[in-house]
Amino acid sequence: MLIRVKNLSKVYKNNNDEVYALKNINLEINSGEIFGIIGLSGAGKSTLIRCLNRLEEPTEGKISIDDIEITNLNKKDLRNIRSEIGMIFQHFNLLSSKNVYENIAFPLELEGKNKKEINERVETLLKYVDLEDKKLSYPSHLSGGQKQRVAIARALANNPKLLLSDEGTSALDPKTTKSILQLLNKIRKEFGLTIVLITHQMEVIKDICDRVAIIEDGEIIELDTVGKVFANPKTKTASEFVSNLKTNIEEEIKYEKKPGSKLVKLSFLGEISKKPIVSNMIKNFDIDVNILSGNINELMTTSIGNLTIEILGKDEEINRAIQWLTKENIRLEVI
């Protein structure tokens, strides 16, 4: 599903005051991509994703899904378009009085499917999310990861074209989060779904998303491919998200640099992350280099290398080396 959002705003009234949860949002989400929306608490990301299926009613602007403007639909037509949109939530939203089978079957029952159709579909989904042995269990007897798998199966019950995830992994531990993200990526590849997910975790964006929008105070402040945002964040908020990402690099390098040296953080995007940049720099200039820390992050479509080094030598040679790195399209920061 192709999604277009144009001039979208959402205003809440607080006594006589107007509070903007969203301000003039414009974006296009391509069919078949995994699109991430990241922001801090209160940034407006949940409001935005809930506007995409009109769980929240926009104050202004237009939302089109496959060229159908959903902001103008009546209740009947909105129900029809919602049947093609699945949604998963942070706290799963399972029916505690129903077992796993019944939770997955529930949306099919609402659509008036017969028992045979329901049984075939539920059994297929139980196998797909690897919960065949849990079909008669109740939510209270499931782990967080199992609950989210049930929620995903339920969201897929009516064969949607669009899947919305509202903080779908933030209640899970890191290992379980990885398994849920792998499942979502498998769903995208095998069913061709468009997936929109919101999160406050840059690790989630790194692992699964093609593109990302960063939202702050109800406005999109940065939107690009994940690789470009990682390699060259243009806003302070984006830089903080990238720098706070848990990697193999120590959060702060406690190192007392030597006189006549400079500490430099390097970032490499794509194939250049696998080239012997440091080795070539040492050969080209009269300098020495201490490698303090580094790693390579594998994104969905590319790689990002991070390296913190100490360059030793005469100021003139160090500056020439830094200029050379810049010409090699390596993002750097002198600490």
- Whether 181 and 131 have beta carbons less than 8 Å apart is answered as no
Give the model confidence (pLDDT) of 270-321 as tens digits: 677 677 888 999 999 999 998 887 777 667 666 677 788 899 989 999 999 9
| Torsion sign, CA atoms 175, 177, 180, 182 | negative
- Whether 81 and 115 have beta carbons less than 8 Å apart is answered as no
Chain-centre distance for alpha carbon 227 = 12
Domains of the chain: 3-243 (3.40.50.300), 261-334 (3.30.70.260)
Give the model confidence (pLDDT) of 190-228 as tens digits: 999 999 999 988 889 988 999 999 999 999 999 999 888
Q: Parallel, antiparallel, or unpaired: how do β-strands 85-89 and 162-166 relate?
A: parallel
Res. 252: pLDDT tops 60:
no
Tell me what the mean pLDDT of segment 180-195 comes to.
93
Token digits for 119?
């049984």
CA distance 63 to 53: 9
* Predicted pLDDT of residue 224: 93
Lowest-pLDDT range, 2-11, 235-244, 249-258, 267-276? 249-258
Chain-centre distance for alpha carbon 209 = 5
CA distance 252 to 292: 11
CA distance 309 to 205: 27
Q: What is the dihedral of CA 173, 237, 240, 327, to 10 degrees?
A: 130
* Predicted pLDDT of residue 3: 94
Q: What are phi and psi of 221, to 5 degrees?
A: -100, -15
CA distance 332 to 335: 9
* Predicted pLDDT of residue 249: 37
Res. 86: pLDDT tops 70:
yes
Res. 254: pLDDT tops 60:
no
* Predicted pLDDT of residue 285: 92
CA distance 332 to 292: 15
DSSP 293-308: EEEEEE-SSSEEEEEE
DSSP-assigned letter for residue 251 = S
**Angle between helices 100-110 and 144-156 in degrees, nearest 10:** 20
- Place 246 in a pLDDT band, splitting at 50, 70 and 90: very low
Res. 26: pLDDT tops 70:
yes
* Predicted pLDDT of residue 328: 83
**Angle between helices 144-156 and 174-191 in degrees, nearest 10:** 20
SS (H, E, C) 15-76: CCEEEEEEEEEEEEECCCCEEEEECCCCCCHHHHHHHCCCCCCCCEEEEEECCEEHHHCCHH
CA distance 17 to 253: 46
